[in-house]
Structure 1
């Protein structure tokens, strides 16, 4: 049987369809009610939580959704969490981003980084007066940070190899402290002769009076390289991804509340970034045999 509709009936049906379409589109954008966030454990868990708390509160207001920060046990867990859809956004080091991007088949997108991460540096520190250059590390006990750390392992190893110092062959013993602050503690406590860590944590420890630069000193600083970023999966709703990006870019150091967040993140502002910025990190990792 053919059913005929009046003009008013057709209008009613059209309005209903449009309303359903609108609700559907809204659902696509706002279906995700919780943003699951984490960060590589390059510092103590309590410090990571302290740094993220005001940023999380800021993002909740900007995105109008709950922000859930979940600490992870190691660098590998942050990679697996993102690519296996257990996390939505992660604070990666350059090398961890490269690992995540490789593991996911290119489905991880870096969205923002600190301005300082365009030219990040690692420092080599020691208490030993006989160590003044990288070559002096031959025959010594040395510690990196985490094995998957860009600034605590990959780039220090890269520059050691460039100075014809093979850590696995030329040093007496190498260790992995697991975090930048733990590296400084190992050097200060005399457990190792020297170690490498990222310059940001080093400067923070100096500023907080937690290390005496007259006792523990920097004897080598690497050239600059791209490092940390906030990354998401490529399947994140593009509207949400843009809102997150815009929220980071809107942080202004001239605003007292924003300045507190930026200071804790050890930056003056966030800028956009892209995967291509980390090709040199990928090359360094492959050359060092740390990425296959």
Structure 2
């Protein structure tokens, strides 16, 4: 090997690496252009997909990336997915937001919530004519929703405890349906004497004619509490976070697109939110022994 050839090798290697990097850039760039979104599975997967489709298309336009909905199997998977960078944004309930924030060491940022989520409520339903107040649930079979559900488990349990009713000791049997609509089906089908679910899903099922209110009725509605929000990780590009927030806040029922999205999300409008709004949820979870 000549001296001149020897000195050309580093230059050739550098040129090769540069070419390789340039060739790889479009692939890496393309991967970064997919913004992965999910939601706690508090309703049937097909319903979640239906509700998200117009919102996903709208957000894609606003942030300049493909927004892709990634369904998860359970509530825990939505928490782990966001923390472990498999998801970029998640529609959390108040409790799942608290779980994610605690698990991540405070690295989850709630962006927006529906105006309705400032004063969210749960309803207790039954077909049993002997059940008219929370105290009547003693000795009965009862169904919550998913174990990590704010409106289907945590807050109903919290209000039961406040009424001096320990579900695990005072009820005959406690089960978990996994989703709000499944709780209604369990009560309507006589599998349990009563159950608790979020008021928004209850009202939607009634409007859709999927509940026979001559048989299934609400016998208790909880006081209001903060609930759902759209959350991202704190390491998401601040510019993207701002675009997302602005996109949600700009939704207006006066436009055809805004009206469709807000109706599907069962929202009057979206408003900013902050971690402090969920301190009461965290306290309730710790008090109920559901958050260590």
Q: Deviations over 1:156-213 (max 9, x none)?
A: 0000001111000000000000000000000000000000000000000000000011
How far apart are residue 264 of structure 1 and its match?
A: 0.1
Aligned to 1:236: 236
1:185 corresponds in structure 2 to: 185
How far apart in 2 are the matches of 1:251 and 1:42? Answer: 23
Deviations 1:13-65 (A, max 9, x none): xxxxxxxxxxxxxxxxx883111000000000000000000000111111111
Q: Secondary structure at the match of 2:35?
A: strand
Question: Which residue in the other structure is 1:227 paired with?
Answer: 227
Question: 1:173 and 1:268 mapped to 2: Cα distance?
Answer: 38
* SS of corresponding position for 1:196: strand
SS at match of 2:244: helix
Unpaired stretches in structure 1, ≥5 consecutive residues: 1-29
Matching of residues 201-280 of structure 1 within 5 Å: 201-280=201-280
Query: Partner of 1:232: helix, strand, or coil?
Result: strand
- Residue-by-residue CA offset, 1:58-106 (whole Å, 9 max, x unaligned): 1111111101100000000000000000000000000000000000000
Aligned to 1:174: 174
Q: Which residue of 1 aligns with 2:287?
A: 287
Q: Secondary structure of 1:128's match?
A: coil
Distance 1:213 1:97 in 2: 33
Aligned to 2:60: 60
TM-score of the superposition, structure 2-length normalised? 0.89
Give 3-state SS (helix, strand or coil) of 2:195's partner. strand
1:81 and 1:212 map into 2 onto residues whose CA distance is: 37
In the alignment, the residues of structure 2 paired with residue 281 and residue 239 of structure 1 have an alpha-carbon distance, to the nearest angstrom, of 29
Any unmatched runs of 5+ in structure 2? 1-28
**CA distance in 2 between partners of 1:261 and 1:280 (Å):** 29
- 1:257 Cα deviation after fit: 1.5
Moved over 2 A (4+): none
Aligned match of 1:82: 82
More moved, 59-68 vs 43-52: 59-68
Note the C-alpha offset of 1:230. Answer: 0.2
Q: Secondary structure at the match of 2:98?
A: helix
Supply the distance in 2 between the matched residues of 1:234 and 1:256 (Cα, whole angstroms).
Answer: 33
Q: In the aligned structure 1, how far is the partner of 2:40 from the partner of 2:99? A: 12
1:41 aligns with 2:18: no
**Cα drift, residue 107 of structure 1:** 0.2
After TM superposition, give the deviation of residue 248 of structure 1 in Å: 0.4
How many positions carry a matched residue from both structures? 264
- 1:47 and 1:85 mapped to 2: Cα distance? 25
The residue aligned with 2:111 is 111
TM-score, structure 1 as length reference: 0.89
